[in-house]
Structure 1
Amino acid sequence: MHPRTILLPALALAAACSAGGGGNAQTASGGDGAAGGATDASTAARAVPAPAPFVATPVATFVEPWAMTFLPGGKQALVTEKKGKLKLLTIDGATAIDVAGVPAVAYGGQGGLGDVVPHPDFARNGLVYLSYAEAGEGDTRGAAVARGKLVLANGGARLENVQVIWRQSPKVSGRGHYGHRILFAPDGHLFISSGERQKFTPAQDMNANLGKILRLNDDGSVPKDNPFADKGGVTAQIWSLGHRNPLGIAFDAKGQLWDMEMGPEGGDELNRVVRGANYGYPTVSNGNHYGGEDIPDHDTRPEFSRPALWWTPVVSPGNLIFYSGDMFPAWKGSAFIPGLSSQSLVRVVTSGSTAREAERFEMGARIREVEQGPDGALWLLEDGENGATGRLLKLTPKG
C-alpha cells in the first residue's frame, strides 16, 4: 500500500457555511448546564477562514466503516463495518483481518455494527465492547452492547465468551436513531448513548431507556449512586434524559461529560451532560420536525436543560472527542466533531458549560468518526454510506 497525501482547505464557519451542510452555530452562555441555567442564545462569532494546518494521508479502506478504536501499545486498531464485520488493523495499514465471533447484527437503515471500545484494563483482561442493532420479535429492533475477550493466535483474531450486557428497552419498529456510542468514564463507569429510535416520546418516558444517556458498571449492572437507582428496572440505568439521537459522548479534560446529538430539521446540539438533567426532547428543540412542523425552542421551557451550542443548518455529527495530544498543541482541550452532511471536521472550544465553534475544515466527504491516535495525530473515518467504501485518514501537521 502506498498512501497518498492530500492537502485540504479550511471551510468558513457559522453563517458563512455553504449549502453542503454546516450551519449558523448558536451558543448559549452562562449557567451550569442544569435546567434553566443558560441565557438566551445568540449568534456565534464567525471564524476567519484559514488553510488547514494538516495533511491527510489515506491509510486503509473499509466498507461502510462506523467506528474505530486504538488498542494499548499503539500498533493496532479495531474498526467496525456496519454490515457486521470487525477488522483488526495494523496502524501502518499493511494488514486488516476479520475478527471472528462478532454477534449477528440487524443491518439496514442506520442499523448494523456500531461502536467499539476496549476495557480500560484491556492490557490485563483483553475485553472489547461492541454496540450493534439487534433484531427482536416481529418487525422490531433495538441497540445492544456486548463484550468479549479479544484473542490473537496463529495469525488470526476472535472474540471469546461474548455476552450481551445491555439492551435498549423496549425494542421498536424502524431502523433509525440507535445512538449506541460507548464511553468509559475516568472512574471506570460505562456510559452508553441511547437514541429515541425516531419514536419521540420515549425520550421522556422513565420506563424506557430510549432517548437517554445511561451509566452502568463495566459488567452492565447499575451503580447504586445513579440518580434514579431507587426506581429499579431500566429507569435505574438513566443518567440523563430528553435526548434525540446522541451520536457522540466524551469527557473533557476536567472530567465533564458532553454529548453531541443530531437534531430534527435543524438544531444539532452539543450538551454538557449533568446528572439527572432533562434536555427536553421532543417537547423542545431548536429545530423543527421534518416537514416544517414547529417544535418550541428551549427558551420557551426553562425547566429543561439547554444546549451549550446548537447548529441550524446542521453539522450532522458522527461522534465527539476532546483532543489531549501534543502533535497539535494549539488544539489541546478542543472538542472535535466529524460532520456527515456537512462533510467537515469541526473544532469547538468549551469553557465551563459554554461552547463556541472555532474552526471548520472541509473534508470533501461524509466523515463518520474522529479519533486521537497514540502519537497525537487525528484519524478520520469516511462514512462510506449505503455499502460504499470509506477511507481511514491520518491527519498530521503540515511541514
Structure 2
Amino acid sequence: MRNSIPIILSVGFACAAQAGPIETNAGTLQAVSVVDGLETPWAFDFLPDGTILITERDGALIAVRDGQRWQVNGLPRVYSDGQGGLLDILVPDDFATNREIFLTYARKQGLFGAGTAVFRARLSDDGRSLKDGKTIFEMTRGSGGGVHFGSRLVEAPDGTLYVTVGDRGDGEKAQNLALHNGSVLRITRDGAAPANNPFVGTGGAQPQIWSYGHRNPQGAALDGSGQLWTVEHGARGGDEVNKITPGMNYGWPVISYGVNYNGSKIGEGTRKDGMTQPEHYWDPSIAPSGMTFYDGKVADWRGDAFVGSLKFNMISRLSGDPLREVERIEGPETQRVRDVAQGLDGALWFLSVYNGALYRLE
C-alpha cells in the first residue's frame, strides 16, 4: 500500500534498535532498525493492520507483526541466479476487500532462459500462506544469465499494474516491440493488456508494452498527480530518472549518457529524434534501486522523490521541476539501499542489503 495517505497507527516493531544520528537538510534524524537478520532483501510493503511483508531474493517472503516474524508459504518456484529471484511485492489499495497481493519473480523459461513474471495470490486470514496462487504474466522468452530483470510493481490510479522489465542483458531487444525486454508494461490484474495501451492492435507488438527502450529499471513510483516515474541503471554512467509517457521510446541502447564498461561509446550518442530524454541522469552511476515520492511527516520533503543507491550507500533526494538531486542522505545504515518507501506512519523506510535490515527514519 505505497504512496497512500499516511495513517498513524501502532505497529509492533521487531528488533527495534536506536542508531546514531543522520544529518539531513530537514534536521537530525535517527535510522531505527525495525527488522534485521534478513538475507538479501529486495522489497517490502505494508498490510493495513501494520504487518510488514519483505521479499528475500533467494525465495522467501517474511512477515513481521507485533514482535513476531514468520515465513509465508505458497510462493511460486523462483529462479534464483545473480540478480534474479523473488523480487518486488505490491499490496494493492483494495487488499482489505479480497486479500490479494502481487509479487514479481524470475521464472525459469526453457532449458537455459529465465524472465520476469508476475504472481497473484490471496493471503490467508492468519497471514501465513498464499492461496489460489497464479502466475498471471511472464515476459516473452527471456535470455540466459542472471542480470537485468527490472521488476518493480506499481498500482496505477485505475487499478491496473505497471511492471518494469529489464533488457535481460541483451540491449538490442529493448528496441524490439515484439519482445518485452527493456520495457515498462501495463497489465490488468489478470495479466491481460488493457484495451487502451498504446501498442494494442499494432502488428507484431506486445500489447502489454507501455513504454520501451529501457535498460534495467529497478525503481518506479507515482508522484502526487498519479504520474509514473522510473529509475534505471545505465552502464558506466548514465543512470536515468524517466518520466514515463505511454508509447514513447527511451532510447536504450541507441542513446545513453554513459559508456560501456570497457570505456567504449554506446550507440549513437546522447540524443536522437524520436527518443525521449531522461529528466535527470547520474554520472558517475549510483546504481539506483527503489523509488518513492514522499508526502509524510517531514514538511520540507513533501513532493520530493527518494531513490536508493546500491553503489554510493545513500538515499538520493530529488526535488523541483525538472527533478534534480538536491541531497544525499547517508549513514552507516544506508549501505546498499535496495528499496525505499513511505510507511503507513508517514515516515521514510528503507531496506539495506548490506546490513540485511529494514529501517525507519524518524
TM-score (normalizing by structure 1): 0.83
SS of the residue corresponding to residue 72 of structure 2 reads strand
> Partners in 2 of 1:84 and 1:360 — Cα distance?
31
Maintained 8 Å contact 1:280/1:298: no
C-alpha offsets along residues 171-229 of structure 1, whole Å, 9 cap, x if unaligned? 21110000011110111111000000111111000100110000111111111111001
> Partners in 2 of 1:120 and 1:220 — Cα distance?
18
SS of the residue corresponding to residue 288 of structure 2 reads coil
Q: Structure 1 residues 166 and 363, CA, compared in 2 at 3 Å: closer, same or farther?
A: farther
C-alpha offsets along residues 249-292 of structure 1, whole Å, 9 cap, x if unaligned? 11111121111001111110001001111010001100011111
> Partners in 1 of 2:16 and 2:76 — Cα distance?
32
Gaps spanning 5+ residues in structure 2: where?
1-13
> Partners in 2 of 1:344 and 1:394 — Cα distance?
14
Match of 2:57 among 74, 79, 82: 82
Q: Structure 1 residues 204 and 66, CA, compared in 2 at 3 Å: closer, same or farther?
A: same
Matches within 5 A, 1:286-325: 286-296=257-267, 299-325=270-296
C-alpha offsets along residues 343-393 of structure 1, whole Å, 9 cap, x if unaligned? 001110142xx2111111113311111111111011111114xxxx61111
Structure 1 residue 233 displacement after superposition: 6.9
SS of the residue corresponding to residue 175 of structure 1 reads coil
1:71 corresponds to: 47
Q: For 1:170, give the aligned amino acid.
A: R
RMSD: 1.7
> Partners in 1 of 2:86 and 2:320 — Cα distance?
31
Aligned length: 346
SS of the residue corresponding to residue 124 of structure 1 reads helix
Maintained 8 Å contact 2:256/2:267: yes
C-alpha offsets along residues 145-186 of structure 1, whole Å, 9 cap, x if unaligned? 110000033xx6100110111111122111000001111011
Flag the structure with more relative contact order, 1 or 2, with Cα contacts below 8 A and sequence separation at least 6.
Answer: 1
- Asked if 1:278 corresponds to 2:291, the answer is no
Q: Runs of 4+ in structure 1 displaced over 6 angstroms?
A: none
Residue identity over aligned pairs, in percent, reads 37
- Asked if 1:377 corresponds to 2:344, the answer is no
> Partners in 1 of 2:204 and 2:96 — Cα distance?
33
Match of 2:81 among 108, 123, 135: 108
2:4 corresponds to: none
Structure 1 residue 52 displacement after superposition: 5.5
- Asked if 1:4 corresponds to 2:17, the answer is yes
Match of 1:130 among 100, 103, 107: 103
Matches within 5 A, 1:35-184: 53-61=28-36, 62-73=38-49, 75-90=50-65, 94-153=67-126, 157-184=128-155
Which shifted more, 293-302 or 272-281? 293-302
Maintained 8 Å contact 1:316/1:339: yes
Structure 1 residue 9 displacement after superposition: 4.1
